[in-house]
Amino acid sequence: MNHWIMMPFVLPLMLGAVLAWLDDSQAVWQRRLSLLGSLALVGVAGLLLNAAASGPVQIYQMGDWSAPFGIVFVLDRLSALLVLTTALLALLVNLYACSGDDSRGRYFHALFQFQVAGICGAFLTGDLFNLFVCFEILLIASYALLLHGGGNQRLRAAVHYVVLNLVGSTLFLLGAGLVYGVSGTLNMADIARFVQQAEGDSLHLMRTAGWILILVFGLKAAFLPLHFWLPRAYASATAPVAALFAIMTKVGLYAILRVVMLMFAFDSASADLDLLFAIALLTLLLGAVGAFSADSLHLMLAWLVLVSVGTLLAGISLASEQSLAASLYYLLHSTWGMAGMFLLADLIARQRGRLAASLRSGPHLLTPVRLGLLFFVGAIATAGLPPFSGFIGKLSLLQAASGIQAVLLWSSVLLGSFMVIMALSRAGSLLFWQQKAHVDSSAEPLTGLRYGSALLLVASAVLLVLAAAPVLDYCAAAARQLLEPALYLQQLQGGQ
């Protein structure tokens, strides 16, 4: 099974190279190969999840070069879960794009596969340098995907996105260089071992390096005050790109989780985690305020991504088994659910003609019942109301807090959820209730492939409820494994 660990990275990377070689006249083959690759990735991810659930942490050393000198891929319950999340998301988004959105620019499928490769590689890599490499792969692909479809609005958003991420990449190199200068390694397990024994200036320098890396990952995750690039970038992207970007912030949060567990796990770090907790709550509330004040459906959804970022960061900063398990469950809900809402927003905009996604009363939709029911389910799940998965995720997280943290978390989550409910209710009223009698002449009919992709992603809120017990059990096991880095170290020392 060990050789399969690198397949989620190698498969889309090689497929992207093949797709880049095909020209526009071979669009049918591009779609077929891209969909086949996405389907194969789901199968590989399922095998890896089964292997991670039934055994210890697995290490793959490329070229049989032992750590810390070789390239190391690590499979544990957390990385396997996130790879499967990415694979399922990529398959459904790819299906949606193949309905015509992929033809709005060149090399869409190649860039799509490159970004998936970077995301999966980031989840599986076992050292900071290769994490940087995977970040750059997914970021370079995302730069071009953000411009997919053209337009001045996308160009402005892309310029801001590129500049800020170049700054982040520079800081990443600075932080990684400081870690290497102090510890002599960039392997995550070796870093954990070094921090266990570090004292004095070495410990302070490692703490500083850790916060530099958290700053970099915070820029990728878009938490306050590093959030300003996200709303316009997500709102201006085409629907498949915005839906795929739903996993992008989770890459930053995953990296923060790894750094916190490795660099801050072996000594009292309450002040550091308290600061992250405060940032999380402020990000959550800022996202809710932004969603409430948005003037378009796409922009509102982009702000709602920040609500999910704040919620997840709060769970990470609590750093307990229960909070991490709740966060992982909520991560599944928010990733698939927000992606489905971005696709649904595009379907609604296509039927409103010139008004598109603007939150103003407009023409009658061609299929108001089908779109309205899907929006209703997605809105309830996004707001965290019962009986869908958002409620289970938030309730589990609230139950994980105690003391003053519980007071702050309950207050912030409830206030934020109330504002989100108001924002989604206003949007639903304008889009589905306050309709004019006529249908816009430029409205596009609903297609089965597009609607099916959006339906499956939004319906994940129902599926996660039906499978809540086994999913939460798996998330709890992943949290326990994450909180026991000694198991990670033992496997690395064993070379397997």
Distances (CA, A) of 83 to 42, 46, 203, 237: 9, 9, 33, 23
pLDDT of residue 38: 94
Domain membership of residue 108 (yes or no) is no
C-alpha to C-alpha distance for 435 and 446, rounded to whole angstroms: 18
pLDDT bracket for residue 437 (50, 70, 90): low
Q: What confidence score (pLDDT) does residue 201 get? A: 81
Domain that holds residue 467: 268-488
pTM metric for this prediction: 0.92
By C-alpha distance, which of 245, 271, 269 is closest to 259? 269
The top-scoring range by mean pLDDT among 149-158, 344-353, 428-437, 451-460 is: 451-460
Counting residues of the chain whose pLDDT is more than 70, the rounded percentage is 93
- 113 in a structural domain: no
- Work out the average pLDDT over 419-435: 88
- For the cut 80, the answer to whether the pLDDT of residue 261 exceeds it is no
- Length of the chain (residues): 496
Residue 264 banded pLDDT, cuts 50, 70, 90? low
For range 237-248, the mean pLDDT? 92
Check pLDDT > 50 for residue 268.
no
| pLDDT tens digit sequence for 324-358 | 999 999 999 999 999 999 999 999 988 887 787 78
pLDDT at 267 over 60: no
Q: Which residue has the higher pLDDT, 460 or 147?
A: 460
pLDDT for the residue numbered 496:
42
* Nearest residue to 206 (alpha-carbon basis) of 185, 232, 228: 185
Tell me whether residue 340 is in a domain. yes
List, for residues 93-146, the tens digit of each pLDDT value.
999 999 888 888 788 999 999 999 999 999 998 888 889 999 999 999 998 898
Each residue's pLDDT tens digit, 287-321: 999 999 998 999 999 999 999 999 999 999 888 88
DSSP letter assigned to residue 445: P
According to the per-residue pLDDT averaged within each range, which of 22-26, 82-86, 270-274, 354-358 is highest?
82-86
- The chain-wide mean pLDDT, for the chain, equals 87
Number of domains in the chain: 1
The answer to whether residue 232 sits within a structural domain is: no
Answer yes or no: is 363 within a domain: yes
Q: Say if CB 127 and CB 186 are below 8 A apart.
A: yes
What's the pLDDT at 421? Answer: 94
Q: What is the mean pLDDT of residues 193-201?
A: 78
Q: Are 118 and 135 in contact (CB under 8 A)?
A: yes
Beta strand spans in 165-281 (E) = none
Is 85 a domain residue?
A: no
**Is residue 174 in a domain?**
no
Phi/psi of residue 60, each to 5°? -120, 120
Instruction: Give the pLDDT score at 490.
Output: 65
Instruction: List, for residues 14-66, the tens digit of each pLDDT value.
Output: 999 999 888 777 788 889 999 999 999 999 999 999 999 887 888 888 777 76
3-state secondary structure of 359: coil
pLDDT of 160 strictly over 70:
yes
| Domain annotation covers residue 20 | no
